[in-house]
């Protein structure tokens, strides 16, 4: 690893970012200044103060531009041996050395403007696991970005080969090994436009978007939407004379339907923008993904970094026999301010047929037959405990409502309060039906959820810690909860309300399995890898042994 | 390489039975529990003195009774509830008076081990051992109330047992 002095020397004529970087830095800074400018302009509605604000913004932009140029000049990078060396910063000079073997994920992202201009952003992530890129190159020429991505990943492969002496086949120095031959790629998922539309149409975020749209409606008071609605109401209901209850309900319902419809369309549009052309490919020991309409994302993720899989069958998707697959990785603390929310799930399949999930899972965990795993239910007491837990938030408002109705002498409406009464039991029934756990050879599964059914798949060797928790109520009822902890952000398998004996038994069993998996991993790491087979027809097996190498 | 040398761990015998915490931790917990109680009592008493209503004295009295009772009764039960055991392949920690927790950390999953001493712990010569893992729920597994030499010995022992594998 080069020292600071060596790095400085190397970087004296290191590579620079593309000159168009300045444009994008200007755009980012501009975005930060535009909002206050707009706010100032709108709130003061023109006039002298607005002009002053614009002038101020203009003055602030000049040092910003100078800073941008200086930063561009200061940013230098170089591929030196087994490391990526970078230097950045004008006032605070920062040297960073990233060993290529540590690189876990390299993404190439192109926003719409960047695509038009033929440049791209490259993000390098290591096992640091904060979810933030260790190195961001913004921007490089698109072809340079892709070439660098290949070099970094290839360099990673050969750097790892150099680090593991057992892999040298015939005395030839690993450093001078030829570029690793391409491995046959297996396309795991490729979404058509129709698939993406379905994904957007069934997204559970529709509710959120609808609420947002509904809120937005409140701000369009100036426009004639409310007047238009009144006109529509008159047209549909007729001049029934005055505002009847039925009329109001119709208008209200119409409004709600409109909001939901608009929200739904936005959701579909958003999905198209985000996931158009989604492709997930497995190449050797890596997953490569590619998606996006305006902003194009291309990334690769080593399979070793996969901590767990999550199969989500949301409320809207389950009846259509659809599911979402999320590949959970380490770290995954969501970073505020990042354009993409980095939740540790860098790879996913937005939508897939439920019957296809088994194949997808096999693409990532080759020795797991997902559809064949039996999910065991937990103690029946879970149903009643959950029902009791949900009863309180339902019964209290109902009681208050009943009291209010009695107070206002509207006792005729009391029967209506009986409607939500079965709700706690129904929800609890759903939750009980979904909740369960399962074991496969080398994997632990957990399932849960009320409206959305989520199944977690955790390989034994990715289990970090095991917990058995019992609340005072559980102890009284002879129950306990088992938690299987992983390194995935927010990822753990939680099996609630098992009979206490079963809980202890499960923890003991998992402990033995994890221990065995750790032993197996140690063995694989130390065993010499088989020498790479002779090239056949242009393809050859990846010469890194699949399991165990860091 | 033979199976034996691959799996050989340093010659440290696992604990025969679950270990208890140092009894002095009970006093530490009592002190720690009494500090907020004392603050509340003094604040309440001060308010009662300043405002001058006699019934306001019920407040600091209440804090005294509740806080004092809790500081008296709970720590011994907490001491009884804690236990830890270094096994052949794992560390097991049990805790909790009302909510019982049982945590299992395999040696192979330990990232690193720290010892830590708060000011009051230092007065009594106690320390706590913090076992860091790559987990999210069990990111840090803590064993409080160990005599300082015991804590340091445990830290070194676990560090040796955890080995140098990539735990993630």
pLDDT in tens, A131-170: 456 788 988 999 999 888 888 877 766 666 565 544 334 4
Q: Which of A330, A518, A525 lies at the smallest CB-CB distance from B168?
A: A330
Q: Which of A483, A487, A518 lies at the smallest CB-CB distance from B134?
A: A487
Summarize pLDDT for B120-164 with one digit per residue, the tens: 999 999 999 999 888 887 789 999 999 999 999 999 888 888 764
Q: Which of B98, B135, B168 lies at the smallest CB-CB distance from A485?
A: B135
Measured distance CA(A548)–CA(A307) in Å, rounded:
14
Q: Cβ of B168 and A486 within 8 Å?
A: no
**Residue A90's pLDDT is what?**
83
Q: Which of B99, B106, B109 lies at the smallest CB-CB distance from A472?
A: B99
> Using the 8-state DSSP alphabet, how is residue A15 labeled?
B
Helix (H, G, I), strand (E, B) or coil at B142: strand
B26 touches chain A (CB under 8 A): no
Q: Which residue has the tokens 């398998």?
A: A493
- Reply yes or no on whether the pLDDT at A129 is more than 50: no
Summarize pLDDT for A510-534 with one digit per residue, the tens: 999 999 998 888 888 777 655 544 4
Q: How far is B34 from chain A (nearest CA, A)?
A: 25
Q: What separation in angstroms does the CA of A318 have from each of A197, A356, A360, A381, A428?
A: 16, 14, 17, 26, 18
Give me A210's structure tokens. 């609808």
Compute the average pLDDT of residues A46-58.
72
**Residue B166's pLDDT is what?**
45
Q: Which of B109, B112, B113, B141 to mutate to test the interface with A (most CBs of A within 10 A)?
A: B109
Q: Cβ of B135 and A475 within 8 Å?
A: no
Residues whose CB falls within 8 Å of the CB of residue A491, separated by 6 or more in sequence, listed in order: A307, A308, A310, A328, A332, A344, A456, A458, B136
Nearest-Cα residue of chain B relative to residue A517: B108
Contacts of B90 in chain A (CB under 8 A): 511, 515
Nearest-Cα residue of chain B relative to residue A332: B136
Nearest-Cα residue of chain B relative to residue A510: B104
To the nearest whole number, what is the mean pLDDT of chain A? 78
Which of the four pLDDT bands, split at 50, 70 and 90, describes residue A4?
low
Compute the average pLDDT of residues A366-389.
91
Compute the average pLDDT of residues A401-416.
80
Angle between helices A225-237 and A245-275 (to 10 degrees): 120
Residues whose CB falls within 8 Å of the CB of residue A270, separated by 6 or more in sequence, listed in order: A200, A209
Summarize pLDDT for A323-360 with one digit per residue, the tens: 999 888 765 443 333 333 333 446 788 889 999 999 99
Q: How far is B168 from chain A (nearest CA, A)?
A: 7
Q: Cβ of B6 and A523 within 8 Å?
A: yes
Compute the average pLDDT of residues A76-91.
85
Q: Cβ of A507 and B1 within 8 Å?
A: no
Measured distance CA(B162)–CA(B90) in Å, rounded:
9
Q: How far is A464 from chain B (nearest CA, A)?
A: 5
Summarize pLDDT for A302-330 with one digit per residue, the tens: 787 788 999 999 888 889 999 999 888 76
% of residues, chain A, pLDDT over 90: 22
**Residue A238's pLDDT is what?**
56
Residue A486 and residue A462 in contact, taking contact as beta carbons nearer than 8 Å: yes
Contacts of B132 in chain A (CB under 8 A): none
Q: Which of A33-42, A226-235, A422-431, A483-492 has the lowest mean pLDDT?
A: A226-235
Q: Which of A459, A464, A482, A504 to mutate to test the interface with B (most CBs of B within 10 A)?
A: A464
Decide: pTM greater than 0.90: no
Q: Cβ of A470 and B100 within 8 Å?
A: yes
Q: Which of B6, B101, B135 lies at the smallest CB-CB distance from A486?
A: B135
Contacts of A519 in chain B (CB under 8 A): 6-7
Give me B6's structure tokens. 């691959």
Q: Which segment, A173-177, A234-238, A424-428, is predicted with the most confidence on average?
A: A424-428
Residues whose CB falls within 8 Å of the CB of residue A495, separated by 6 or more in sequence, listed in order: A378, A435, A436, A437, A446, A481, A482, A483, A484, A503, A506
Summarize pLDDT for B22-49 with one digit per residue, the tens: 999 999 999 999 998 989 888 888 888 8
Q: Which residues pair with A491 in a beta bridge?
A: none
**Residue A163's pLDDT is what?**
57
Contacts of A526 in chain B (CB under 8 A): 1, 6
- Ramachandran class of A344: left when φ > 0, alpha when ψ lies in -120 to 50, beta otherwise: left
Q: How far is A367 from chain B (nearest CA, A)?
A: 20
Q: Which of B6, B99, B134 lies at the smallest CB-CB distance from A464?
A: B134
Summarize pLDDT for B83-127 with one digit per residue, the tens: 999 988 899 999 999 999 999 999 888 888 989 999 999 999 999
CB atoms within 10 A of CB A249: 10
Q: Which residues pair with B106 in a beta bridge?
A: B90
Q: How far is B153 from chain A (nearest CA, A)?
A: 22
Q: Which of A470, A487, A521 lies at the smallest CB-CB distance from B135?
A: A487
Measured distance CA(A140)–CA(A29) in Å, rounded:
19
Alpha helix segments (H runs only) across A45-141 = 48-74, 112-117
């Amino acid at each position: 690893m080069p020292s600071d002095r060596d790095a400085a020397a190397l970087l004296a004529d290191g590579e620079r970012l593309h000159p168009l970087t300045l444009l994008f830095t200007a755009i980012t800074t501009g975005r930060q200044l535009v909002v206050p400018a707009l706010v100032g302009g709108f709130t003061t509605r023109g006039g002298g103060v607005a002009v002053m604000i614009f002038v101020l913004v203009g003055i602030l932009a000049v040092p910003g531009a100078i800073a941008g140029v200086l930063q561009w000049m200061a940013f230098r990078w170089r591929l030196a041996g087994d490391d990526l060396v970078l230097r950045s910063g004008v006032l605070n000079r920062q040297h960073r050395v990233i060993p290529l073997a540590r690189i876990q994920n390299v993404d190439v992202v192109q926003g719409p403007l960047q695509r038009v201009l033929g440049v791209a952003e490259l993000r390098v992530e290591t096992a640091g696991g904060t979810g933030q890129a260790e190195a961001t190159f913004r921007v490089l020429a698109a072809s340079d970005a892709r070439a660098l991505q290949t070099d970094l990943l290839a360099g990673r492969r050969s750097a790892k080969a150099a680090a593991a002496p057992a892999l040298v086949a015939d005395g030839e120095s690993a450093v001078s090994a030829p570029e690793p031959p391409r491995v046959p790629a297996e396309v795991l998922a490729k979404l058509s436009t129709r698939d993406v539309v379905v994904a957007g149409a069934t997204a559970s975020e529709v509710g959120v978007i609808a609420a947002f749209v509904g809120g937005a409606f409140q701000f369009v008071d100036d426009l004639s939407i409310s007047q238009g609605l009144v006109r529509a109401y008159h047209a549909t209901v007729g001049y029934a004379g005055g505002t009847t209850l039925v009329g109001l309900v119709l208008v209200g319902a119409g409004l709600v339907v409109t909001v939901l419809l608009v929200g739904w369309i936005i959701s579909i549009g958003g999905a198209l923008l985000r996931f158009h052309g989604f492709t997930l490919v497995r190449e050797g020991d890596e997953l490569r993904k590619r998606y996006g309409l305006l902003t194009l994302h291309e990334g690769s993720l080593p399979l070793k970094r996969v901590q767990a899989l999550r199969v989500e069958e949301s409320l809207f998707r389950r009846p259509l026999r659809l599911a979402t697959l999320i590949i959970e990785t380490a770290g995954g603390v969501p970073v505020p301010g990042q354009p993409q929310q980095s939740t540790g799930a860098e790879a996913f399949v937005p939508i897939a047929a439920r019957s296809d999930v088994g194949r997808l899972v096999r693409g990532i965990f080759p020795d797991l037959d997902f559809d064949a795993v039996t999910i065991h239910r937990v103690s029946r007491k879970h149903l009643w405990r959950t029902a009791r837990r949900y009863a309180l938030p339902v019964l209290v408002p109902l009681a208050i409502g009943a009291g209010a109705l009695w107070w206002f002498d509207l006792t005729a409406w009391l029967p209506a309060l009986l409607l939500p009464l079965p709700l706690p039991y129904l929800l609890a029934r759903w939750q009980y039906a979904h909740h369960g756990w399962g074991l496969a050879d080398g994997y632990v599964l957990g399932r849960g959820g009320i409206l959305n059914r989520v199944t977690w798949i955790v390989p034994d060797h990715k289990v970090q810690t095991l917990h058995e928790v019992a609340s005072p109520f559980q102890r009284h009822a002879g129950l306990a909860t088992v938690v299987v902890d992983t390194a995935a952000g927010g990822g753990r398998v939680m099996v609630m309300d098992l009979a206490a004996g079963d809980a202890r038994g499960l923890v003991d069993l998992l402990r033995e399995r994890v221990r065995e998996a750790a032993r197996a991993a140690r063995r694989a790491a130390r065993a010499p890898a088989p020498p790479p087979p002779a090239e056949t027809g242009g393809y050859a097996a990846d010469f890194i042994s699949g399991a165990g190498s860091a | 390489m033979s199976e034996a040398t691959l799996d050989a761990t340093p010659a440290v015998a696992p604990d025969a039975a679950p270990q208890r915490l140092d009894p002095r931790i009970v006093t530490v917990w009592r002190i720690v529990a009494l500090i907020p109680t004392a603050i509340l009592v003094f604040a309440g008493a001060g308010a009662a003195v300043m405002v001058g209503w006699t019934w306001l004295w019920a407040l600091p009295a209440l804090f005294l009774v509740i806080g004092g009772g809790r500081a008296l009764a709970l720590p011994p039960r907490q001491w009884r509830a804690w236990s830890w055991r270094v096994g052949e392949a794992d560390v097991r920690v049990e805790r909790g008076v009302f909510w019982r927790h049982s945590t299992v950390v395999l040696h192979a999953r330990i990232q690193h081990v720290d010892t830590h001493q708060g000011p009051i712990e230092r007065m009594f010569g106690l320390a706590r051992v913090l076992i860091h893992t790559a987990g999210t729920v069990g990111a840090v597994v803590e064993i409080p109330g160990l005599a300082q030499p015991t804590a340091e010995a445990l830290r070194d022992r676990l560090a040796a047992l955890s080995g140098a594998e990539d735990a993630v």
